Structure 1
């Protein structure tokens, strides 16, 4: 139930405890006003599992006394004033993704008095979200993020219409949805959705305020605004899936998407109030490690762009997962680089451990991840060190293999098992080690542990630290059977 209804119940209870007089009349007046708002917004605060047409916003021409009091500090700004505030109340904004970016963005838009907020997210709240997704709480774990955000925003400002959509944005529903909103804010965490939202905004003629954050860095720009470029103008071809990193894989400091989400909110408010955006043809880059902002000029709108150019070839929405070669989700990607003979399950590896079979367990995660948790018998050589053939790391590997060879006292090849978080980097490491076998190191047999440490935690040792998202993903899959370059660096910065 939304916060507005909760507040009405509180007021009604207070009225029953008042015997009479001006205070009772005042409370009754508040109750009536809140009930009127609730009745007007009730159709909009029900969680949507499909896209429906919305009634138009009220054509406000003046501010109420409560509006003047609530927004008094920003009304004093000459850049906004009464006209700008009225413009905000008549504006609808669709927030695609109620995560690390979407939460602070929506919070400040609601506080500022945006008329309607569409809140779209297919996911549910989990514990690993809470360090950065500040609208959600421990008590809302398991709830749809869209509903959790709508409830929190309604408690903040009951005059704002919140429309939660618990669904996956797709080519089937994007146009119908986006056409009903004035401004779109892209807070998504995957490349297919970025292209989908961009194309739908261009085809619908809507400005797109886009931000991203990863690790300690963030970026912000505005697409399809006042003759500026769209996302396809800058990135006509999607990046290879293996070069794209999200916060589930690369990590993020929670305050960084908070900063970028607030900057997104600022640009949305400037567009909605009539001031205009500062980043229609600029890219704002934030380096949290250095504490620096810098702005670079983007290439102009491209006449040959497939969607916004002079002769567009994209005139309707397409299959963006096929176009990008990746799923429209921030769930952890699974690579399949090896044959079944080059892999073993966690159950098979557990049998090897139980039988005390001599072997080498190589953990190829970065040291920062190994410091969090690891299997006690493993040695750590990060994948990047293997790729670069770092001499000290290769020497350590040779020494460990030689030691095992002596212990085995046999001519058999030393068995090496490779593990990482999810079984992606370990597959790459197996390919490298097979190249090294017999030349840079002694002959070895190498196998990847399928599913990695998350599969170990999910299937073998539940006490081993894991993320809820990875656990659910691995459970579903198993029951059913990177480095960044300069231009790619910006495209991989995606946080949910």
Structure 2
């Protein structure tokens, strides 16, 4: 370890070389390399974490650049994992970078997480957070939570020294219609940097033993008012007794939608069959990219405009990530008898598959 590299940390009397060595020995898993993951990875890497694991299976999109500041225009279309791994190694060649080109799921979560000392949630969806929580409880690993919404953010530390878990704060997963969607609601570019850095700080505190981690406390950040608040919550002992993962981490929905995979959708597009594709994104998103002959009916207008859909033809619903098409499916299956399908993972998944196939 190059001691002069970290001199600005080791001269701190309450940190010193002992804490720096703990960082070097630590193995940290970051789930997601997007808005939160980028600042988390940049600072932990710079500060001297010995091993960084990265779970990410997405590609860089032009819309990411507003907040995911490690990526550049020339990276658009490339694997986020490949780009960020290379740049992190350039930043600090002493760090061991291990990439997992996958999305965390029920089948791989325990196997991946067990190799690490601490997990940092840099995802943007509820199913992933419940999965991370449950896997960390089973494996007795602490995890640092972060979430974003428009101009606001949240941070906490769960399962720290048998303390409160994510389910102690949020006992059950919300239904698909209750979930906020960043494609609709958005986030101010600088906010992920603030929340991601707070998550990195909490991870450093957990690893080194300095300060008091946010266990049993939820930090709320309001960027417009520049205010921080804390909410205390208690451990529910039953939540520490988990020994197996849930059978599914899908959002609660009245009916299971009919998903069509990206490869099957591409095959259908290449065939002579004319598909009735309904794009439920905003008009601006539709203008940026859309499938030929698809019809744009934004989700917020669907209740008034669903009569424009041909009920004698199957319906193929698309959106950016699959969240809005799920909501559209839940609405349309009550109104129409025709077969309705969703593009699994939305246009993001389609573009990733198209680039890598």
| 1:79 Cα deviation after fit | 2.0
Residues 427 and 138 of structure 1: CA distance in aligned 2, closer, same or farther (over 3 Å): same
1:426 and 2:287 are equivalent in the alignment: no
Give the secondary structure class of the aligned counterpart of 1:320. Answer: coil
Aligned match for 1:204, one of 139, 152, 167? 139
Question: Contact 2:297–2:305 at 8 Å: present in 1 too?
Answer: no
| 1:134 Cα deviation after fit | 1.6
Q: Which residue of 2 aligns with 1:321?
A: 249
| 1:291 Cα deviation after fit | 1.5
1:447 and 2:308 are equivalent in the alignment: yes
| 1:318 Cα deviation after fit | 2.6
> Aligned partners of 1:201, 1:475: CA distance in 2, in Å?
32
Q: For each residue in 1:139-195, what CA deviation from the matched residue of structure 2 results, as whole angstroms up to 9, or x when unmatched? A: 222222122111111111100111111112112111111110001000111111111
Q: For each residue in 1:407-465, what CA deviation from the matched residue of structure 2 results, as whole angstroms up to 9, or x when unmatched? A: xxxxxxxxxxx9643xx32333458xxxxxxxxxxxxxx435975898xxxxxxxxxxx
Question: Contact 1:207–1:222 at 8 Å: present in 2 too?
Answer: yes
Q: Which residue of 1 aligns with 2:124?
A: 189
Residues 147 and 228 of structure 1: CA distance in aligned 2, closer, same or farther (over 3 Å): same
> Aligned partners of 1:426, 1:152: CA distance in 2, in Å?
42
> Aligned partners of 1:270, 1:373: CA distance in 2, in Å?
41
Q: Which residue of 1 aligns with 2:165?
A: 230
**Gap regions ≥5 residues in structure 1:** 1-63, 328-343, 350-363, 376-417, 432-445, 455-468, 477-496
**Gap regions ≥5 residues in structure 2:** 258-274, 288-294, 321-344, 353-357
Residues 277 and 206 of structure 1: CA distance in aligned 2, closer, same or farther (over 3 Å): farther
Question: Mapping of 1:127-276 within 5 angstroms?
Answer: 127-275=62-210
Q: Which residue of 2 aligns with 1:304?
A: 238
TM-score computed with the length of structure 1 as normaliser: 0.55
Residues 94 and 239 of structure 1: CA distance in aligned 2, closer, same or farther (over 3 Å): same
Question: Contact 1:419–1:453 at 8 Å: present in 2 too?
Answer: no
> Aligned partners of 2:8, 2:155: CA distance in 1, in Å?
26
Question: Contact 1:192–1:320 at 8 Å: present in 2 too?
Answer: no
Question: Contact 2:30–2:119 at 8 Å: present in 1 too?
Answer: yes
Quote the RMSD (CA, aligned, Å). Answer: 3.1
| 1:294 Cα deviation after fit | 1.2
Residues 141 and 474 of structure 1: CA distance in aligned 2, closer, same or farther (over 3 Å): closer
Give the secondary structure class of the aligned counterpart of 2:238. Answer: coil
Residues 473 and 92 of structure 1: CA distance in aligned 2, closer, same or farther (over 3 Å): closer
> Aligned partners of 2:180, 2:113: CA distance in 1, in Å?
27
> Aligned partners of 2:37, 2:154: CA distance in 1, in Å?
14
Question: Mapping of 1:404-483 within 5 angstroms?
Answer: 420-421=297-298, 424-430=299-305, 446-447=307-308, 471=347
Question: Contact 2:130–2:249 at 8 Å: present in 1 too?
Answer: no
Q: For each residue in 1:330-364, what CA deviation from the matched residue of structure 2 results, as whole angstroms up to 9, or x when unmatched? A: xxxxxxxxxxxxxx9469x9xxxxxxxxxxxxxx9
Q: For each residue in 1:260-318, what CA deviation from the matched residue of structure 2 results, as whole angstroms up to 9, or x when unmatched? A: 000000011111112154310111111111111111112x110233xx1xxx3x42123
Residues 179 and 127 of structure 1: CA distance in aligned 2, closer, same or farther (over 3 Å): same
> Aligned partners of 1:304, 1:373: CA distance in 2, in Å?
44
> Aligned partners of 1:85, 1:190: CA distance in 2, in Å?
33
Which entry has the higher C-alpha Rg, 1 or 2?
1
Aligned length: 298
Question: Contact 1:427–1:448 at 8 Å: present in 2 too?
Answer: no
Question: Contact 2:164–2:216 at 8 Å: present in 1 too?
Answer: yes
